[in-house]
Structure 1
Amino acid sequence: MPIRIMLVDDQELLRTGFRMVLASQPDIAIVAEAGDGAQALDVLTGTEVDVVLMDVRMPRLDGVEATRRVVTGIREGIIAGEPKVLILTTFDLDEYAFSALKAGASGFLLKDVPPAELVAAIHAVHGGDAVVAPTTTRRMIDRFAAVLPAQQPPQLTPELARLTDREREVLLLVAQGLNNGEIADELGLSEATVKTHVGRILTKLDLRDRVQAVVLAYETGLVRAGA
């Protein structure tokens, strides 16, 4: 079955461009479109979608609030299926994109992303793997460090207290943008063991992916902007 995509953008020309790029992929199908977040929510109540490509700045309901409502709707059974949201933004330093990640989006891309990278990101999100590659996570950290609030010295927050010492070490390295192989080398562990630790971290903290793990690491003070 092809990956079912929904395009959400108030600019029809951009939707057309993405549709043309994705239509050439044999395992991807555009099943729905919307011109703003409110319309997207209406469509998602009756249409099963695997991945939503969501613009950030739109009239009526922006991508941040729409993403938050999609995640809530999935939890409450209002939204059909369990669509993942992939944020599309025009600007490198768009605080709205960071807010959308906090709201539950599975990743973000710039709108001028090369077609191959867009397709790869869709497959990553749909497959449930690390939805944003570690190298992109590094860029995210660099781009959004300036908009993050000043942090107090790290302390054992209730969230971090759920983790073992080793899991906190792994979370710290994930937040620094290291992939599983690099973390394994850093800590003297096997890559399989690191993968197990990452899975347990996501489960214990009720996180969907590594992106949300990075966000939480900053919010709890485990990693500080500019550190």
Structure 2
Amino acid sequence: MTTTPSPVRVLIADDSPQQRAGWRMVLESQPDMTVIGEAGDGARALAIVRREPADVVLMDLHMPRVNGLAASERITRDAIVRELGAVPRIVLATALDLDDHVAEAARAGVFAVVYKDVDPESLLEIVRAAASSESGSDERRG
């Protein structure tokens, strides 16, 4: 008897409702992915993953209140998130200056940093790779 693997649970965090909608459309077009929620800033993203286990957080680098780097550090080190059983992998997205943030992202425990205009196929590949990753950072550029 074969079992169907659970879908990859993704949280989307971006201050732009249009960006969130676009990412949601791409992710939910896949039978092996489900979006568990959306957040407009890093503080809200942390609050959601404290309640709802996520495999991957797809998050904007530049957001109000708590930016993507600070939120990544908080999510990967948060005791409540760890108690849920698995710390989600973080994929940060930026419209600008990707190279300026790769080292900081690695220190924050981020799996990958991509440009926001990454093509859908590459985005899906990175999200799947993040979900199947066991440990450590693997900064990628998309």
Mapping of 1:126-141 within 5 angstroms? 126-128=131-133
- 1:209 equivalenced with 2:123 (yes/no): no
- 1:183-212 per-residue CA deviation (whole Å, 9 max, x = no partner) reads xxxxxxxxxxxxxxxxxxxxxxxx71344x
Aligned to 2:3: none
The 3-state SS of whatever aligns with 2:90 is: strand
Aligned to 2:47: 42
State the percentage of identical aligned residues: 37
Residue from 8, 19, 23 that aligns with 1:18? 23
- 1:51 equivalenced with 2:56 (yes/no): yes
Mapping of 1:1-227 within 5 angstroms? 1-73=6-78, 76=79, 78-79=80-81, 80=84, 81-93=86-98, 95-128=100-133, 208-211=136-139
The 3-state SS of whatever aligns with 2:117 is: coil
The 3-state SS of whatever aligns with 2:51 is: coil
RMSD: 1.6
Instruction: Single out whichever of 101-110 and 86-95 deviates more from structure 2.
Output: 86-95
Instruction: Single out whichever of 79-88 and 52-61 deviates more from structure 2.
Output: 79-88
Q: What TM-score do the two structures reach when normalised by structure 2?
A: 0.85
Q: Distance in 1 between matches of 2:88 and 2:51?
A: 12
Q: Distance in 1 between matches of 2:102 and 2:63?
A: 13
Contact 2:94/2:115 (<8 A) preserved? yes
Pairs aligned (count): 131
Query: Radius of gyration: which is bigger?
Result: 1
Q: Distance in 1 between matches of 2:126 and 2:38?
A: 19
Q: What TM-score do the two structures reach when normalised by structure 1?
A: 0.55
Contact 1:86/1:107 (<8 A) preserved? yes
Q: Which runs of 5+ in 2 are unaligned?
A: 1-5
Contact 1:49/1:83 (<8 A) preserved? yes
The 3-state SS of whatever aligns with 1:95 is: coil
Q: Which has the higher helix share?
A: 1
Contact 1:54/1:85 (<8 A) preserved? yes
Q: Distance in 2 between matches of 1:97 and 1:85?
A: 13
Contact 1:5/1:29 (<8 A) preserved? yes
Q: Which has the higher strand share?
A: 2
Amino acid at match of 1:27: D
Q: Residues 16 and 63 from structure 1, CA distance in 2 versus in 1: closer, same or farther, beyond 3 angstroms?
A: same
Report the Cα offset of residue 97 of structure 1: 4.6
